Amino acid sequence: MIKFYIMSKTYNCYGGHTTLSLISDFLLKDAPHFGDAIKEITLTFHFPNAGLPRKTLESLYEDHDNFRSNLPKIVYRRSSGKLVIDVSSELLDSSKWKASSRLSLPLFVSGVEEVITALSLIKKRIKKSDDFDLGSFLTHCKTARERIPSSEDELQLLSEELKAVAKAQRATMSPWQKLGIDWEDYHPNARNVLDNPFFWERSNDFAPNGNDTGADILSEYMNWIKLHKDGKPLVFIEQLARQWGYVDFVTMDEDLRDEAAIGLAFADLKLRAICDPDVRDLALTAIEQQRSRAQESTGWSHRDEKLKTLDILETKLKQTKPI
């Protein structure tokens, strides 16, 4: 079964969307096996911004706008069978992101058409010699139009049905399988170094790269390190701090700075399987600061969980030999 993810991106938001992300499972419902050449598809809609960007985020807006102007883009990693498709879309803009958090039948219908159009781009990358029946795959997706719900109530029922199926499938997976990680993106020894699935969780705010800041750090550092293989992580974080509108790393908001320091230390371990000693020290200091704030928050329902995960992070960093 193909893994199919639909993501949404504005200049300052990225992630799944209540209505649009539902389309992938809808299109693949009851799908036969089409071949092994394509194992995973990630389709990302890049949406415009109707107004001015938020203050201090002008550079992110400009980068996003420039990227959109060069779409569509499709990358196929034949060795792993993974397809990444990026398309420009006018279905939403950043100002309507929160307002569109509920299921919308009109958006679903329009989204299905745009997804089917985007999937046709696969023709540019798949060869006849590849083990994948692209014609049957596209036909199956197009035929799904006949099953589009005719009312908001039917769409809600569809959503619940697909979520139930996905939940049942996840129940059969191991903790590592549930991560859905492309290990080719990371250092070959990183999984041995970070040997607990917790370190890799992408939707856990307490995981080093699971909160918004940590996820951004990992993504940005992954791109930066490709161009600066011998570069120092502290140089990266100072550049990113300025890109985010701060004078330097030290002047970042305390909570943001601590999340960034921890996120960078574990991003370094994931991408190089080693940790820069200065970054390690920053992260250990950040962990201690987060621990102090958590200990003071006696009425916080997640206090004990936060303290436990901080202990896990600290122990791992202290076990890991710095460069």
Which CA distances in Å does 178 have to 37, 235, 259? 22, 34, 24
The pLDDT value given to residue 188: 95
How many alpha carbons lie under 13 Å from residue 227 in its C-beta half-sphere? 6
Using one digit for the tens of pLDDT, what is the confidence trace for 33-63? 999 999 999 999 999 987 777 777 777 888 8
| CA–CA dist 13, 94 (Å, integer) | 8
Domain range summary for the chain, segments of one domain joined by +: 3-171, 179-319
Cα torsion through 225, 228, 233, 234, rounded to 10? -140
SS3 15: strand
Q: Check if the beta carbon of residue 141 is closer than 8 Å to that of residue 119.
A: yes
The pLDDT value given to residue 13: 80
Q: What is the mean pLDDT of residues 215-228?
A: 93
Of residues 198, 195, 192, 175, the one with CA closest to residue 308 = 198
| CA–CA dist 213, 263 (Å, integer) | 7
Using one digit for the tens of pLDDT, what is the confidence trace for 257-315? 999 999 999 999 999 999 999 999 999 999 999 999 999 999 999 999 999 999 999 99
pTM to 2 decimal places: 0.69
For the ranges 43-47, 97-101, 177-181, the lowest mean pLDDT is seen at 97-101
In the chain, the N- to C-terminal Cα span, in Å, equals 42
Q: What is the mean pLDDT of residues 249-256?
A: 94
Using one digit for the tens of pLDDT, what is the confidence trace for 127-159? 999 999 999 999 999 999 999 999 999 999 999
| CA–CA dist 63, 9 (Å, integer) | 12
Using one digit for the tens of pLDDT, what is the confidence trace for 232-244? 999 999 999 999 9
Average pLDDT of the chain is: 92
Phi, psi of 98 (to 5 degrees): -65, -35
The pLDDT value given to residue 10: 87
